[in-house]
Chain A
Amino acid sequence: MNALLHVERIRKSFGATAAVADLSFEVREGEIFCLLGPNGAGKSTSIAMIASVLPPDSGAIRFRGRPVARRSPAYLRQLGVVPQDIALYGILSARDNLDFFASLYGLKDGEKRRRVDEALGFAGLEDRAGDKVETFSGGMKRRLNIACALCHHPSLLIMDEPTVGIDPQSRNHILESVRALRDAGTTVIYTSHYMEEVEAIGDRILIMDHGTRVAEGTSEALKESLGDVRRCRIELDGSEPFPAESLYRVAGVTSVSQDGALLEVESVRGVENLDAIIRAVTAARGKLLGVTNVEPSLEQVFLRLTGRSLRD
C-alpha cells in the first residue's frame, strides 16, 4: 500500500510542556491506522496538527508526498474530521446539520441532497432525519457526528475518540461502519484509549505516551513483542499475601504478582506447568476459586513498555 500521509518529527509544546515530541509515522492508503494511548498522551494534539487547526512548532506533514501548507483548502477537502466532542447544532435537525456541513465543502443542490441521504443512511438515522438533534440519544449524536464528516467523501477520515460515552450497541455500529468505510477505500486515522476497539479494527497501531511513540505495528506484532511469556490468573480464596516463593520453585515460572485475591503468574511459553502451579497454590492455600489463561493484550504491551496501565 502507498503511504497517504507522512508525519515527520512533529512537535508541539504548550509552555514548558511538550504535548507532542518529535512524533513520526506514516498512514497507508486504505488502512485503519490507530493511535492508542491514555488520556493526555498527545493523540488529540497530533490530530489537531494533522487537521491544520494547530500549527506544529517543528516537523512536517506530507499528503500524497507533497508538503501540506497550513489550512490549504485542497488538503482540507481531502480530510474528514470527527472531533472528540459532539459538534452539532442541537436546535437543528439531523438533515440540516448534514446539509450545513456539506455546503462548507462546496456541495450543492441534487448532489448535496444525495450525499446527505447517504450520510443519514450511514448513521442509521433515516427515520429521524427531520428531528432536532437535541432530542437524540448519545449514540445517535455520535453517529451523526461521524456522518457530518463523510458527506464530501474524504480520502482520509480522522476520528478522535469517536465512541466516548456511548452504549455498546452504538459502539459496535460505529466500529462496523469504520470497517465498512475502510473496505470502501477510505483511509482512517482512529484515536482511542480503548484497547479493545483498537485491537478490533486497527490494521496498524501506534502506541503513544507523553507525546512520543512507544511502539508501532500490527496488533499481532505488538503482542508478540511481549516475548515468550504465558500468563495465568488465579483467583484465591481470600486476599492474604500469598507465599510467592512456592511458585518460583515451579519450572518455567518467571514472575508472580498479587492484586487482592488475584494472583498473576508468568511462565515461559512452551513449558507445560499449569498442573504444577495449581498444585503449588492448593498446597499453600488449600483452595482456589478459579484459573484463567490471560491472552496477551495491548494493555500488557503498554504496561510492559511504560510501566503503567493504559487507564492510569
Chain B
Amino acid sequence: METLYAIFRRDLLNLGRKGSFVFSATVFPLALVGLLGLLNEGLFGMAMTGWDVCAVNIMVYMAVYSSMIATNSFMERAVKATNLRVLFTPVPLAALYLGKILATTIFCASGYFVDLVVLSLLGIHLGPGLGMGLAPLVVTLTLASTSIGVLLCCLVKDEPTANRILSLVVNIAAALGGVFFSMESLGGTAAAVAGFSPFTWLREAVFRFVWDGQAMGTAVAAAGSLLVAGAAVLGCRATFKSEDYA
C-alpha cells in the first residue's frame, strides 16, 4: 500500500504540473459549456434553459473523456521511461496501473467539481449543493473512464493508438447520445439510434436527478460505472505485462 500511495502521489503531482491536463480538466469543460450554451440559448424552455442542458451534457461528456488523460499519463512516451524504472523496483505490477487510474480519477474529478460549482454560481441549474449532488456520479463515471483508458493501453500497448480509438468511440457515442445536438430533431430513426448510446441514458439519469430530484437513475449509473471500473481493472491485471514497457 505504501508504494501504491507513493506512485499515486507522484502521478497526481505530475498531472497537476502539466498545464495541458489542468486546462483539460478545468477550463476546457467551461469553454465547451460556454460555446454550446450560446449556440443553444434559445432552443429550450424558460425553466430548463439551453445553458442547463449544455452544462449537463458537457459534464457527462468530460467525465467519459477522462479516459484520454489516463492513457496519456500511463503510456505517453515522456512517462514511459520513468514507468519502466518503477518496474525495476520491487513494487507489485498492479501499483503501476492502479496508481495512474486513481491519480487521473482524483485529478479530473477535482477539476470537474470546480466546474460544477462555477457553473452553479453562474446560475446554471445542476442540482443541490452547487452541483455537488452529482459528485458521486462524476467520480464513478470518471473512474470507469480512466480504467477503460488504461485497459485499452494494456491491450493495444500504444498510447496514440489507444487515444485514437477512444476519441473515435467517445465522440461518436456522444454525438449519437445528443451531447452536441439533439438527435430527436433529426427524425425518428436518429432518435431510435440515440437510445443505444450510453450518453443518452446518463443524460436522462442526470436530468431526472437535477430537475425531478430522482436519484435512482444516477445511483444505478454510479453502480454500473463501479462495475465497469472493476471489470476494467481485472482486465488490466490480466493483460498488463512488464514487457509492455521494455
Contact with A along B137-166 (1 / 0, CB 8 A): 000000000000000000000000000000
Q: Do residues B10 and A89 form an inter-chain contact, with CB atoms below 8 A?
A: yes
- Chain B: residues with Cβ within 8 Å of the partner, total of 22
Q: Which of A48, A81, A88 interacts with B82 by CB under 8 Å?
A: A88
- Complex Cα distance, B82 from A164, in Å, reads 18
B243 close to A55 (CB less than 8 A): yes
Interface size bucket, A side? 20 to 34
* A53 lies within 8 A of chain B by Cβ: yes
Query: Which B residues from 74 to 96 make CB contacts under 8 A with A?
Result: 81-82, 84-91, 93
The reply to whether A89 and B14 contact each other, CB–CB distance below 8 Å, is yes
Q: Are B10 and A100 within 8 A (Cβ)? A: yes
Do residues A79 and B246 form an inter-chain contact, with CB atoms below 8 A? no
Residue of B nearest to A74 (CB): B90
Q: Which residues of A contact B245 (CB under 8 A)?
A: 53
Which residues of B sit under 8 angstroms from A55, Cβ to Cβ?
A: 243
Partner of A83, one of B17, B81, B242: B81
A103 part of interface (Cβ distance < 8 Å): yes
| B93/A79 in contact, CB under 8 A | no
Complex formed: what's the CA distance from A55 to B241 in Å?
10
Provide the residues of chain B in CB contact with A52, threshold 8 Å. 242
Given known contacts A48-B246, A83-B88, A103 and B81 CB-to-CB distance under 8 angstroms: no
CA distance A111 to B242 in the complex (A): 29
Residue in A54, A91, A101 whose CB lies within 8 Å of B243: A54
User: Which residues of chain A have C-beta atoms less than 8 A from B48's C-beta?
Assistant: none
How far does the alpha carbon of A85 sit from the alpha carbon of B87 in the complex, in Å? 14
B2 contacts across to A, CB distance below 8 A: 103, 106
Task: Say how far A170's CB is from chain B's closest CB, in angstroms.
Answer: 19
Please tell me if the beta carbons of A100 and B246 are within 8 angstroms of each other in the complex. Answer: no
* B213: min CB distance to chain A, Å: 45
Provide 20 A-B residue pairs closer than 8 Å at the C-beta atoms, listed in order of the A residue: A48-B243, A48-B246, A52-B242, A53-B87, A53-B243, A71-B93, A76-B88, A83-B84, A85-B84, A86-B81, A87-B82, A88-B82, A91-B14, A91-B17, A103-B3, A104-B6, A104-B89, A105-B89, A106-B3, A148-B85
Top 10 A-B pairs ranked by shortest CB distance?
A73-B90, A87-B85, A76-B90, A81-B88, A104-B89, A87-B81, A85-B81, A103-B6, A48-B246, A53-B242
